[in-house]
Structure 1
Amino acid sequence: MSKKAGARLLITTILLTLTYGFSQAQADYRSSQQITTQLQSLSRQYSSLAKLQTIGKSDGGKDIWALTLGSGDIDNHPAIVVAGGVDGQYVVSTELALKFAEQLLASSQTDSVKNLLATTTFYVLPNVNPEATDQFFASLKYARTGNGRATDDDRDGQNGEDGYEDLNGDGLVTMIRVEDPTGAWKKSEADDRIMVKAADGETGGYLYLTEGVDNDKDGAFNEDGTGGINFNNSLTWDFPYFQPGAGDFPVADKENRAVLDFLFERWNVFALVTFGSSDNLNAPIKYNAGEASKRVLKGMLKADADANALVSKNYADIVGKKEGAQPVVQGGGFMEWGYFHYARYSFGTPAWSWPEFKMPEDSVAKAKYKPNKDKNKEVDYLRWAEANNHDLFVEWKPVNHPDFPGKKVEVGSWKPFAPYNPPFSLVADISDKQNKFILKLASMKPQVKIENLAVESVGKGMTRITADIFNAGTLATMTELAQKTRWVRMTKVEMTLTGSQQIVSGDKVKLISSIDGGDKVTMSWLVKGSGSVKLSAGSAQTGIDTKTITLK
């Protein structure tokens, strides 16, 4: 069997093991406390493979956890970071990161997974902003992105003076629509529960606002509530200055510093997978020469864009192709930081998108739907949800509103978090596909091997040693950007001598900037002496291969 065929068989075995080797009775998403309990349980049950540590505290005093999975010399095995919770609205992200760890550990007694964990390290950060994601479990539920720090989002010198109000008493913050001739919104013709922006030249007739009142009487609604800093808008690349949730300067908060400090000490990381709002897996970031040549880099370098396209294709093959997808890149984002300022392969995905609604064939059933001429995605998603018995929408009900006396005001729209997260019954299938992708990415890791080793005597006590320093992986040993930043460690080739041995020709130590996947660098040495020498090659993010060579 060829080496490539063997690798394919190994990864297929692992995927089948993960798909069928794990099940867990679970009815809904988990809070930060439930996540903590499960992480502690995993670290106890799989103590030889799972190391749990708190890498810091959130602004609200909650632990930020890192779970390291692997065996042997974990610091010198190529590593993947799996991160969730970077965007608090995506509670599914924390679930997917945790389920990856659960499923991998549950399968760890099989030979294929044992071998994977003995050669690859995984750093799982399931919830890097627990205050934001825990709003899903609060008595007043609203989609939140900020941490626990009080902020002055409207910059009027006061913190949190204009937050949300639950006008209809259902414990959910949704939207209000107000009949007003100056409004720029209107009801969708396909479904009058869905509000759409009026086109140029059209009459709207509705104001469309978040649920609450104008507490500070500045004409804006709920613009300065709980606030907080959004982890996914407050990192260093293309920082969005003066934007709510970004903070006064990059990495100003405890959560950001804890995560970045942890990662900057992990030299073996070759790739990051982030579940959240940024996306370069459903559609890769394309190379743009102008953006990539700016002094402050705004676009991917050519080789890295090519790698993104390759990984994205593999993602589509496993997860399914999302038609019409476009890459989503945002200033201050974690996925973006992972590439532009950490110089690793960095990938992001929301992991889920609204399912397609298929119009029923039956004429009676079909008659209850008005034509969706604009192909409005919200209309289709609401129809899909109702057809599949998912309660995701609050029907519009009239309320008395102090800011709009004498006007018709209604409360309703999507339940908080519903637009960003699948119904929980879908999560198991989503998790299986995302886990398969992460394992596929692991199989593409850069792997430096010493191959075609040749040893021959050339007389006068000297031995010629020739070897190929070969990258057996698919991805290059470092990104093209890493070659420019000089932060990621290069492939180090070292000949270690003992006693009176000496190198007559060749480098005792040589640093190789990068080796493409499937490529090699041929090196040779002329060594004088007897006994044996040691040849090592690699780096933390590629693994280190060592050969002991007997001199002739």
Structure 2
Amino acid sequence: MKMKYIMLMAAGLACSTIVKAQKPENIIAAVGSPSNPRVPISWNRYYDYTALTELCKKLAQAHPDLIKLGSMGKSFAGKDLWVMTITDHKVGNPDQKPAMYIDGNIHSNEIQGAEFALYTAWYLAEMFQQGNAAVKTLLAEKTFYIAPTINPDARDNFIHKANSAHSPRSGLLPIDNDRDGALNEDGFDDLDGDGHIVMMRRKNISGRFKADATDPRRMIMVGADEQGEYELLGQEGTDNDGDGLVNEDGEGFYDPNRDWGWNWQPNYVQSGAYKYPFSIPENRAVAEFVLKHPNIAAAQSYHNNGGMILRGPGAIEDVDTYNALDARVYDALGKKGEELLPGYRYLVVYKDMYSVFGGELDWFYGGRGIYTFSNELWTNYSLYNKTEPDNNLAQAQQYTFDKDLLMRDAFIDWHPLKHPQYGDIEVGGFKKTYSRLHPGFLLESDAHRNMAFSVYHAYHMPKLQVTELEVKDLGAGLSQVTAVVANERMIPTHSSQDIKNSIEIPDVVSLSGGTAIAAMIVNNRDLNITTEQKRDVANIKVDNIPGNAYVTVRWIVKGGTKFTVNVSSKKGGQASKTN
């Protein structure tokens, strides 16, 4: 009994030492990171829907003046689609500040997008609380709407059920992929019950593969004059319905990123499209949220993999949609992204990859005029911080990286199994959490860099200021009031796509303090060239306030000597000045 007491005391002292070591006075902050966060989160792992929900709630509870948690709607299985509204709620109306929307995990196996989005929310809140001046200014001026996962049903499928790194992409709507009359009938056959769908091989001297002499885990093709050792039988599984295909249906094969209402095409044109635009409930909830928040001026979605910063158009048919003025904004942001994200490339979807119809980023830009990027997270460049041009060497790096830096934790060693159709086989290969997903020690680093890119994008959303308010006495009780409204950031208050399609109402510059009897936009102040607005003269409508530029407006006013000019822009926010 005495020994047990001593052991308990020792354990208590050890715990107390650990707690004490984590007190603020025992820590020196690493620059650029929250040193004493209110919500400590480990960024070297992946969280299921329950854990993500708990973390979102903890962040909202710990930072009530910064984070408001709400639901955009329900998933097919009834899960809340959480969205955090992040801003300094003590300064201005969140829905009247220029806003950035961020989401992740639209494809269910591309799970790290949720962690990257959540990291952005956590970092902004904790650095604000720590007193970081840049973050405090950013959240005073801007709003972030962050939805960590917009496909929570299939996220949990990937995490908790047997899958490969490449499955599933979709959600859980009932689909008959092979048109045999059965819905989602096969699923994935996890022959050894380890939760990972890997590869099957069988010994065969007539096979085309052998074990790599440098790493026998790896299968390489034999030469023309060599004898083989194995035949590869494809991914782990069985043919449950006798159609000759293994694991072909999965659970609900469709592509949520082919469902959006811009250049949507049916499944026979665009593989993966569902019934009609926004027929998937999760996407419809996102679209409705965006429509209710016209202050969203920028957007970011997270996918994997390949290390790409993507913008539209998704298809060549939309090449004229992204005109030169908007392309310049995209190019400036994208090139900065390449600096912030080593190994990532700024690309145009249709030109540098393949055609996509009904994609999320095209709807955000084409349908709403919002400057939007889709980042393909994780790149093999991060393995050794260099580009490996040869595909064979790039594949070999997957094995050496696992051996040298992951202590062989990413590979399930080949082991024998009795297959109901193939007989004696072996199964083995990389886990579902390798090749497309970040290893733990690299997850936070890349999350931080992608967060910084989003912050840079958000920083350059419009910032309006009335920089000049000039009043001239015209006699007879009349005054000429001239105001200059500047946009101090790169992104205009209306994209060219917005202006071309009249997506959003014009910006409004209003005058109070006297009776406006005439109003005009000043095209050239030196030459006194103006365009008169004949109706509602107290409220001048401005089509756009360009990035890093200004507009000049003027009124002829009867009465008053003290005037106030107010600016209201859906995507540009508010500004005011009194003489």
1:178 Cα deviation (Å)?
5.4
| Native 8 Å contact 2:308 2:376 kept in 1 | no
1:312-461 to structure 2, matched below 5 A, reads 312-322=334-344, 327=349, 330-355=356-381, 374-390=391-407, 391-404=409-422, 409-461=425-477
Letter of the structure 1 residue corresponding to residue 128 of structure 2: S
Q: Does 1:266 align with 2:307?
A: no
Q: Deviation per CA, 1:511-542, whole angstroms, max 9, x where unpaired?
A: 32233221122222221212544322241211
Instruction: Supply the distance in 1 between the matched residues of 2:518 and 2:41 (Cα, whole angstroms).
Output: 66
Partner SS for 1:350? strand
Letter of the structure 1 residue corresponding to residue 143 of structure 2: T
1:20 Cα deviation (Å)?
5.0
Cα distance, 1:419–1:261 mapped onto 2, change above 3 Å: same
Q: Which residue of 2 aligns with 1:502?
A: 516
Q: Which residue of 2 aligns with 1:83?
A: 103
Instruction: Supply the distance in 2 between the matched residues of 1:179 and 1:241 (Cα, whole angstroms).
Output: 44
Instruction: Supply the distance in 2 between the matched residues of 1:357 and 1:277 (Cα, whole angstroms).
Output: 16
Partner SS for 1:523? strand
Q: Which residue of 2 aligns with 1:6?
A: none
Q: Does 1:162 align with 2:186?
A: yes
Partner SS for 2:517? strand
Q: Deviation per CA, 1:480-523, whole angstroms, max 9, x where unpaired?
A: 2112221134322223465xx23245342333223322112222
Partner SS for 2:364? helix
Cα distance, 1:97–1:505 mapped onto 2, change above 3 Å: closer
Partner SS for 2:474? strand
1:440-519 to structure 2, matched below 5 A, reads 440-496=456-512, 501-506=515-520, 507=533, 508=537, 509-519=539-549
Cα distance, 1:193–1:332 mapped onto 2, change above 3 Å: farther
Instruction: Supply the distance in 1 between the matched residues of 2:262 and 2:415 (Cα, whole angstroms).
Output: 43
Q: Which residue of 2 aligns with 1:302?
A: 324
TM-score of the two chains, using structure 1 as the length reference:
0.83
Instruction: Supply the distance in 1 between the matched residues of 2:304 and 2:372 (Cα, whole angstroms).
Output: 14
Percent identity for Structure 1 against Structure 2: 26
| Native 8 Å contact 2:305 2:378 kept in 1 | no
Deviates more, 1:306-315 or 1:330-339: 330-339
1:159 Cα deviation (Å)?
0.4
Q: Which residue of 2 aligns with 1:29?
A: 46
1:262 Cα deviation (Å)?
0.7
TM-score of the two chains, using structure 2 as the length reference:
0.79
Deviates more, 1:486-495 or 1:350-359: 350-359
Instruction: Supply the distance in 2 between the matched residues of 1:245 and 1:183 (Cα, whole angstroms).
Output: 34
Q: Deviation per CA, 1:392-438, whole angstroms, max 9, x where unpaired?
A: 12233343333335xx6432222113222111222222222222222
| Native 8 Å contact 1:282 1:312 kept in 2 | no
Q: Does 1:545 align with 2:562?
A: no
Cα distance, 1:184–1:277 mapped onto 2, change above 3 Å: farther
Cα distance, 1:189–1:481 mapped onto 2, change above 3 Å: farther
Q: 1:151 aligns with which of 175, 185, 189?
A: 175
1:88 Cα deviation (Å)?
1.3
Q: 2:115 aligns with which of 95, 99, 102?
A: 95
1:322 Cα deviation (Å)?
3.1
Deviates more, 1:19-28 or 1:528-537: 19-28
Q: Deviation per CA, 1:114-169, whole angstroms, max 9, x where unpaired?
A: 33212100001011111111134315344322222221111222102222111233
1:193 Cα deviation (Å)?
4.3
Q: Which residue of 2 aligns with 1:237?
A: 262
1:203 Cα deviation (Å)?
12
Q: Gaps (5+ residues) in structure 1?
A: 1-14, 360-370
Q: Which residue of 2 aligns with 1:256?
A: 283
1:174-193 to structure 2, matched below 5 A, reads 174-177=198-201, 193=217
1:209 Cα deviation (Å)?
2.4
Q: Deviation per CA, 1:445-487, whole angstroms, max 9, x where unpaired?
A: 1122222221111211111111222111112222221122211
Partner SS for 1:341? helix
Instruction: Supply the distance in 1 between the matched residues of 2:171 and 2:441 (Cα, whole angstroms).
Output: 28
Q: Gaps (5+ residues) in structure 2?
A: 1-29, 521-532
Instruction: Supply the distance in 2 between the matched residues of 1:198 and 1:340 (Cα, whole angstroms).
Output: 50
Q: Which residue of 2 aligns with 1:4?
A: none
- RMSD over aligned Cα, in angstroms? 3.5
Partner SS for 1:545? strand
| Native 8 Å contact 1:449 1:471 kept in 2 | yes
Q: Which residue of 1 aligns with 2:153?
A: 131
Q: 2:66 aligns with which of 49, 58, 72?
A: 49
| Native 8 Å contact 1:282 1:326 kept in 2 | no
Deviates more, 1:187-196 or 1:217-226: 187-196
Deviates more, 1:114-123 or 1:428-437: 428-437
| Native 8 Å contact 1:278 1:335 kept in 2 | no
1:28 Cα deviation (Å)?
2.1
1:324 Cα deviation (Å)?
9.7
Deviates more, 1:150-159 or 1:332-341: 332-341
Instruction: Supply the distance in 2 between the matched residues of 1:197 and 1:216 (Cα, whole angstroms).
Output: 31
Cα distance, 1:516–1:429 mapped onto 2, change above 3 Å: same
Instruction: Supply the distance in 2 between the matched residues of 1:303 and 1:264 (Cα, whole angstroms).
Output: 24
| Native 8 Å contact 1:285 1:300 kept in 2 | no
Q: 1:113 aligns with which of 135, 138, 146?
A: 135
Partner SS for 2:377? coil
Q: Deviation per CA, 1:31-59, whole angstroms, max 9, x where unpaired?
A: 11111111112222222221111121111
Instruction: Supply the distance in 2 between the matched residues of 1:144 and 1:388 (Cα, whole angstroms).
Output: 28
Cα distance, 1:485–1:373 mapped onto 2, change above 3 Å: closer
Q: 1:522 aligns with which of 549, 552, 555?
A: 552
Partner SS for 2:368? coil
Instruction: Supply the distance in 2 between the matched residues of 1:265 and 1:286 (Cα, whole angstroms).
Output: 23
Cα distance, 1:474–1:18 mapped onto 2, change above 3 Å: farther
Letter of the structure 2 residue corresponding to residue 251 of structure 1: F
Partner SS for 1:150? coil
1:260 Cα deviation (Å)?
0.9
Instruction: Supply the distance in 2 between the matched residues of 1:374 and 1:189 (Cα, whole angstroms).
Output: 18
Q: Which residue of 2 aligns with 1:368?
A: none
